[in-house]
Amino acid sequence: MTQISNISPTDMVNAIANHEVFSALDNQSLSRLESIVSYKPVSKHQRVFEVGDQPNLIFYLMTGSLTLKFPDNTKLDLIPGELIGEIGVLNGDFRLGALIANEDSQLIAICGKDIFDAEIIPAKVSLQIVRKLSKRVTNYLRSIQQTSTKEIIHKGENEFIEFKSTLRWNLKANKKDTRVTHAILKTINAFLNSHGGTLLVGVSDAGEILGLQEDRFENDDKLLLFVTNIIKSQLGTLFIDKIHYHLENVENKSILRIDIQEGDEPCYLADGNLDHFYIRTGPSTTDLRLSKLYQYVSERFEN
């Protein structure tokens, strides 16, 4: 890993200022954060923190990739530009998962304790940050909704639930098919542009649990990396914090669960030279026509 040897506190604050939690702070407020940030490089397979550790720091990922692994074997993959560790800092209890580097990575550590210290960070600035952090946690927990995957499958598809049999494999043609993956992205795009939802991959339209073996990935890590890459490349990093996904074992078969929160801005999906804007209409994904796009975006995102 090529480490950054001369990154200054100002550079680090400028980096985290791009994140939604800090983006609304003015320059004077941002400058107060310089005393609570530090540079932390980690090597591949290094564990940043463990389950049960004291949550003293929030981390911002500059380069590389990380995975947050929970005791129930679910995972959350992280890419550059994301924050991690805010739940532990806010509840002040202990870490709920283990954070592991998938490759050599570079992080900015933000001292959670100092955020609440009025002698270091003014109360007004601290309140702004905590409100943003709390909103992220609330939205994440709302997206999960404490609803089991089995229960979702039992209820069937609706405006907020969709099933897909595979991630990249055309079962009829018995081969990889980019159209299958594009259909996954269309659904995610539609949930972002509407009011959120859950996509289950490895389940037929009729609710039959198929599993993901037909997608023929070498292992779970390769499958999750594939998901990360298609979201990042086709939908963009701006929306990555609205999309939460992990693998679950249901009736001895592996299922990919993707929980999507509603987006704060319009999201477009490229198809060749054209950009498409999808929404949910009942249990279906609809490509909104240009004649109706302006009105929908105005009502959905600007009011």
* Separation between Cα atoms, residue 242 and residue 247, nearest integer Å: 17
Query: 168 and 177 in contact (C-beta within 8 Å)?
Result: yes
Where residue 15 sits, what CATH number does that domain have? Answer: 2.60.120.10
- 183 & 93 share domain: no
- 196 & 246 share domain: yes
* Separation between Cα atoms, residue 244 and residue 136, nearest integer Å: 12
Has residue 248 been placed in a domain? yes
Residues in the chain: 303
DSSP 3-state assignment of 166?
A: coil
- 162 & 296 share domain: yes
72-86, 145-159, 250-264: which is most confident = 250-264
pLDDT score of 144 more than 70? no
pLDDT score of 3 more than 60? no
pLDDT score of 2 more than 70? no
Write the CA distances from 274 to 181, 268, 277, 290, 295, integer angstroms: 17, 10, 10, 12, 20
* Separation between Cα atoms, residue 278 and residue 157, nearest integer Å: 17
pLDDT digits (tens, 9 = 90+) for 116-143: 899 999 999 999 999 888 877 766 655 5
pLDDT score of 1 more than 70? no
Residue 88's pLDDT band (cuts 50, 70, 90): confident
pLDDT score of 57 more than 70? yes
* Separation between Cα atoms, residue 44 and residue 206, nearest integer Å: 41
In the chain, the number of structural domains is 2
Give the chain's mean pLDDT.
89
DSSP 3-state assignment of 296?
A: helix
- 180 & 166 share domain: yes
Query: 204 and 163 in contact (C-beta within 8 Å)?
Result: yes
Has residue 1 been placed in a domain? no
DSSP codes joined into one string, 194-253? TT-EEEEESB-TT--B--SGGG--SSHHHHHHHHHHHHHHHT-GGGGGGEEEEEEEETTE
- 253 & 296 share domain: yes
Nearest to 187 by CA among 156, 222, 162: 162
Has residue 14 been placed in a domain? yes
Q: Per-residue pLDDT averaged across 189-196, rounded?
A: 93
- 241 & 110 share domain: no
Q: Angle of helix 178-193 relative to helix 220-234, nearest 10 degrees?
A: 60
Has residue 122 been placed in a domain? yes
Where residue 242 sits, what CATH number does that domain have? Answer: 3.30.950.30
- 170 & 290 share domain: yes
Q: Per-residue pLDDT averaged across 239-247, rounded?
A: 88
Has residue 206 been placed in a domain? yes
Query: 60 and 15 in contact (C-beta within 8 Å)?
Result: yes
Has residue 127 been placed in a domain? yes
Has residue 165 been placed in a domain? yes
Q: Domain boundary at 142, 168, 202, which?
A: 142
Has residue 3 been placed in a domain? no
**Which residues span the domain enclosing 22?**
9-142
- Looking at residue 58, its pLDDT comes to 96
- 17 & 134 share domain: yes
pLDDT score of 55 more than 60? yes
pLDDT score of 303 more than 60? no
Which of the two residues, 10 and 90, has the higher pLDDT score?
10
Least confident of 8-12, 90-94, 110-114, 260-264: 90-94
pLDDT score of 177 more than 80? yes
- 214 & 235 share domain: yes
